[in-house]
A and B are shown apart, each in its own frame.
Chain A
């Protein structure tokens, strides 16, 4: 495969998708513009803000720093799919309860980034939580409520396991 048009087949949120994409199209633009999955947001477009964060083959990545053409054969999960599966329902409820979002632009990336840490189990320190979300910018909340929400979910999940 070499050229400006690339044919890709991938799985997005469990659904098989075949599309022809421009080689230069980023993954997040493909998700938003071609598949109309607009939950992943486009912020800085150079990997700094974290708003475009999605999962590729189970691993958290920046949607703006990967090409759609690179995702041939990949399993991509967006906030829409992860929400529908209920995987982060408790986290979403905690964000709402603690006002851990205002405008909501950072929230999809923030939730997926938090879930990566929470999925490792245990109750991480607030410092570890802050470090985990240090690549996700929020300009509304001041982060305090976000850290509170993530910490409370960690505690609840750890308690439920006992």
Chain B
């Protein structure tokens, strides 16, 4: 299908984009990489009056490591993150997740900020942000603010972003020697959205794990922390952790799998990710 008619504006600056968003002419949408938005427009699942293109704004893309954090500009393309030595070294969970996102041509265009702002509950990056306990910077009509991952995802495709807000930066704690990460997902075909996926992070504390964060995707309206399983894993029992998923997760069935199957898959993925968590970083 073809999109319903809309007007197109290329934002010249962040302030310009925010001003355009506040325009009273009805619904406006931000166009970042467009790899989800354009599909929904083509299918007429969304019909905004105005599309505001962020691709011409200088300074919204780039990867920097400073003050113990990895800062990723919202318009950074997946392909750039995939190739980045800084991401591989300082944000290894993102590096693990990247090959699972779509396909080469999608990653060439799609952006990290776009994926997190869109907040598809089956997408990899929102779960990675949550697993790492990262945060995002948001610019809006009343200035800028920072929102923690735990407070960012509100509901199905719903986030802490207001109608005239722009997500500008993703900030992740930079990995240290103690950092352990794991990533696993199950999809029928490579590049498809996962039926169930898991992004995990922890700190090595002697023979044990501390600060375990397990963020599942594809199991609810938002990426979901499995907190009982986190505690069990920190106590050293993978079997207890897998058992705990029955209380942590309550996925609905969909066309691909029943809720019970998803919980089973979540356990399989937890065993895989736990193995990665206990391996020493190369």
Contact = CB atoms under 8 A, between A and B. Distances in A.
Interface of A: 1-4, 6, 22-24, 26, 29, 45-47, 50, 53, 59-62, 64-67, 69-70, 72, 113, 116-117, 131-132, 134-136
B114 to A, nearest CB: 12
A46 B2 CA distance: 10
B39 interface: yes
9 contacts: A22-B5, A47-B39, A47-B102, A53-B105, A59-B79, A65-B106, A132-B104, A134-B103, A134-B189
Given A46-B39, A70-B53, A59 B108 contact: yes
Contacts of A59: 79, 108-109
A67 to B, nearest CB: 7
Contact of A135 (B41, B43, B191): B191
A135 B104 contact: yes
A65 B10 CA distance: 17
B160 to A, nearest CB: 26
Contact of B106 (A1, A24, A26, A62): A62
Contact of B190 (A22, A70, A113, A131): A131
Given A66-B34, A113-B105, 11 more contacts: A1-B10, A3-B7, A4-B7, A24-B8, A26-B42, A61-B108, A65-B109, A67-B34, A131-B190, A132-B104, A134-B190
Nearest to A22: B5
B104 A60 contact: yes
A132 to B, nearest CB: 6
B142 to A, nearest CB: 24
B8 A3 contact: yes
Contacts, number: 106
A114 B2 CA distance: 28
Interface residues of B, number: 35
B108 A64 contact: no
Contacts of A131: 99, 190
Interface string B108-130: 11000000000000000000000
Interface string B73-110: 00000010000000000000000000100111110110
A69 B7 CA distance: 10
Contact of B9 (A2, A47, A50, A61): A2
Rank and list the top 4 A-B pairs by shortest CB-CB distance, nearest first: A135-B103, A23-B8, A2-B9, A46-B39
Nearest to A53: B105
B5 A4 contact: yes
B1 interface: yes
Greatest chain A CB density within 10 A among B4, B20, B103, B108 is at B103
Nearest to B23: A2
A23 B51 contact: yes
B55 interface: yes
